[in-house]
Structure 1
Amino acid sequence: MGRERELRQLAAALARPPVVVLIEGEAGVGKTRLLHELTGHPMLSGSCHPMRFPYGPIVEALREARPTEELNPVTGALRPLLPECAHFLPPAPPPPQNAQVERHRLFRAILSLLDSLRPITLVVEDVHWIDQDTRELLAFLARCLPESVNLVLTYRAEDLRHPVGELIAHLPPHIDHAELVLAPLDREETALLAKHLLPGSADLWPLTGGLPLAIEELARMLVEGREPGTPTALRDAVRLKLDALPPAARRIVQAAAMLEQPACVRTLATVAGVPPEQGERGLAEAVRRGLLREWTPGTYGLRQPLTRQAVRESITPMVRRRLTRRIEAPSEPVGVLSPREEQVIGLAADGLTNKEIAESLFLSRRTVEVHVANGLRKLGLTSRRQLNRT
């Protein structure tokens, strides 16, 4: 649901082989599901692994190959890589003396096997975990795709170490390319998916931010009669990302999770207890890794409520107390409120939500968010809870 346009774009691209297609999206956004929903395009699929096995995704994909014609003798070079396919591979050629020649022969063997399977689309998922050998092989394949053979790569930009754009930067003229970016579902699409998954109605948008995997997991919890909480897969993924962050970036993310509203880098650094320079570097790294996002110009927060909840659950009680003390301790004021900011902050101090303030003043919710964030910063506050004390 909510992917009709992307599905049409993908089908249209694959209908013009040879083509290289890049599909970008965060974890759980539905990259694999999009490919599974595509019909009429024979595929071989393999996934990169965090342990980065040499040629791992290619081996995984080619194990499912079932050629119907006699193979080029060079494909016999695949026997050491694909022993389970020895029954249809030609005899292995004599080993060359030069390692580079052997490597080139292996690349040619994979290309020849794909050529014998056409029309075919080779799918390599999770390219953010690609190993160096597979990276070089894909660069070779992308430039030499036979007629009626496509290459599709999926990846998470925030975890990417090697730029996938280099694969399409030097394609020959006869090989086309396309790029798709999958965003979370919007509020209406989230409601449709929830209606499809649940017997009753439930608004899953506030918790999930439209992430399909989170929507499905929360729906499953509700169907099973459990209290909706952080899905295990999402919690584990968030904790792995946190563990991989430098200390300053991890503290910035923890600070953002404890704050009620997106905050500027100065506030995040103050709450995190890191110097401003480290705070800026930590913020940049947290944004790059996909844990934080810029909600309004100059203010940053967790990408979705469930991610914020997962980060909060990972914070130890001692660190939580330390962050809370910093949040509740006002800093020095840094500016004068504008008339509109005074108006918005006054209503916020009376306990009105951003939505209620927006309706009261005939403003958009995003504008109210900006005024609240700016007002708190100028007052030297880090939380709306402090407003009734000022």
Structure 2
Amino acid sequence: MPFVGRERELRQLADALSRPPLVLLIEGEAGVGKTRLLHELTGHPMLVGSCHPMRFPYGPVVEALRDVRPMRDLNPITGALRPFLPECGHLLPPTPPPLQDAMVERHRLFRAVLSLLGSLRPITLAVEDVHWVDPGTRELLAFLARCLPDGVNLVVTYRAEDLCHPVTELLGHLPPRIDHAEIALGPLTAEETALLVKHLLPGSADLWPLTGGVPRAVEELTRMLADGQEPGTPPALRDAVLVKLAALPRAARHIVQAASQVEHPVCEDVLTGVAGVPPEQGERGLSEAVRCGLLREWTPGRYGLRQPLTRQAVSETITPAAGRRLRRRIAGPAEPQGTLSPREEEVARLAADGLTNKEIAESLFLSPRTVEVHIANALRKLGLTSRRQLTLGTT
């Protein structure tokens, strides 16, 4: 894929890495081009490893070091890496004898990594997707950040929305001799998106409104169009969205589904009201939806889906009855019905949509028994004798 619209960030990256020792954080959402930015850098020797959702112990550092060809006369402590690096183990000193204390053994391993990096300088160790870091690697990176030898840089990339701990802890206790920098990689502009599309797709197509300028989304969508498919959510992006949505608690999931039916970012009260989530659960549900990366705060206090392409994927998870209910709430409250309380009216409307007591209870976070009482009260107040009459009278 052509490299478009990242000249400023590439200059920032090159300038930062020219001042070792340095710790550099690169943040950006999925598909925005963090890996591509590193690959475009020339003139700076770099070892790259990636964290994975399965969180292999020391996995990214082992991946980065497995093909190194270190110089002779290494510090004997680097022999502690032999069991981890069979690809280059014959170039390392003998494995030192085991230690009885696990903490001391781990410290020796950390010093071995530090010593090996020092023998390779000038070098940059880049660890990608640190939002998936395993506990051992997390501690190792914190150790390296505080002890970087001259001529060695440490770069980490991460997605803020998937981070379960602050990556900036790496900067918390840096000694004065070690500098640090941060690069926030945002989506492409409309003009940059148009240039990328021009490189990828014959003719012209305005894909910025659908993709929000995320390069991977642009690439996948242009591939669909080139294959003659209708523009829609690319399968890879759709699957990623559905996995995140399924992992959310019910309140947060309902909030995301409500956002898929709202045209523009709205405030918390409106969004949770459309979702039918009680206020006491709305704040936490909204926070979880933002944290997982499906929603974002576009302007202070106003929330919407993070990527336009996710709208279709989320909308496909909404049942027809739930969709009608969401659209009715967006349109605004109906005229009061008799002397029904607000909760009784809401239960009656759900019954009108054909939902069972159990489905109504799950939707409104009530017990089935409470729903039964509300329906009975609604029938009595409206002078009806059967649930079927309630349905006919409220549709």
Give the alignment of 1:1-390 within 5 angstroms.
1-328=4-331, 330=333
What's the offset of the Cα at 1:332? 7.7
- Structure 1 distance, partners of 2:271, 2:172, is 38
Structure 1 position 58, deviation (Å): 0.8
**Contact 2:257 / 2:318 at 8 angstroms: preserved in 1?**
yes
Deviations 1:100-152 (A, max 9, x none): 11111100111111111111110100000111110110011011111111100
Change (3 A) 1:37 1:122: same
Distance 1:69 1:320 in 2: 68
Contact 2:66 2:86 survives alignment (8 Å): no
Structure 1 residues 171-198: Cα deviation after superposition (integer angstroms, max 9, x where no partner) = 1111111000001111111111111111
Q: Distance in 2 between matches of 1:142 and 1:11?
A: 19
Structure 2, unaligned runs of 5 or more = 337-395
**Following the alignment from structure 2 to structure 1, what is the Cα–Cα distance between the partners of residues 220 and 35?**
16
In structure 2, distance between residues paired with 1:142 and 1:181:
20
Deviations 1:287-327 (A, max 9, x none): 23222123344332112210222211233445434434444
Instruction: Provide structure 1 residue ranges, at least 5 long, that are not aligned to the other structure.
Output: 334-390
Q: Residue 274 of structure 1 aligns to a residue in which SS? A: coil
Shift of 1:330: 2.6
| Percent of residue pairs bearing the same amino acid type | 77
Is the 8 Å Cα contact of residues 69 and 116 (structure 1) preserved in structure 2? no
CA distance in 1, matches of 2:67, 2:303: 45
Q: Deviations over 1:40-71 (max 9, x none)?
A: 11111111111111101111111121113332
1:242 is displaced (CA, Å) by 1.2
In structure 2, C-alpha distance between the alignment counterparts of 1:146 and 1:200, rounded to whole Å: 52
Larger radius of gyration: 2
Q: Which piece of structure 1 moves more, 30-39 or 96-105?
A: 96-105
CA contact (8 A) 2:221 2:234 kept: yes
Secondary structure, aligned partner of 1:40 = coil
Select between 203-212 and 65-74 the one with higher mean Cα deviation.
65-74
What is the deviation of 1:98?
Answer: 1.3
Change in CA separation of 1:332 and 1:54 when aligned onto 2, cut-off 3 Å: farther
Q: Deviations over 1:220-276 (max 9, x none)?
A: 112222222111221122122212222111110000102223222222222212112
Distance 2:56 2:240 in 1: 21
Separation (CA, whole Å) in 1 of partners of 2:322 and 2:51: 36
Change (3 A) 1:63 1:318: farther
Secondary structure, counterpart of 2:239 in structure 1: helix
What TM-score do the two structures reach when normalised by structure 1?
0.82
Letter paired with 2:243: L
Task: Give the Å deviation of 1:277.
Answer: 2.1
What is the one-letter code of the residue matched to 1:161? C
Q: Secondary structure at the match of 1:153?
A: strand
Alpha-carbon RMSD across the aligned residues, in angstroms, is 1.7
TM-score, with normalisation over the residues of structure 2? Answer: 0.81
Partners of 1:19 and 1:150 within 8 A in 2 = yes
- Measured in 2, the distance between the counterparts of 1:164 and 1:226 equals 40
Runs of 4+ aligned residues of structure 1 deviating over 6 Å after TM superposition are none
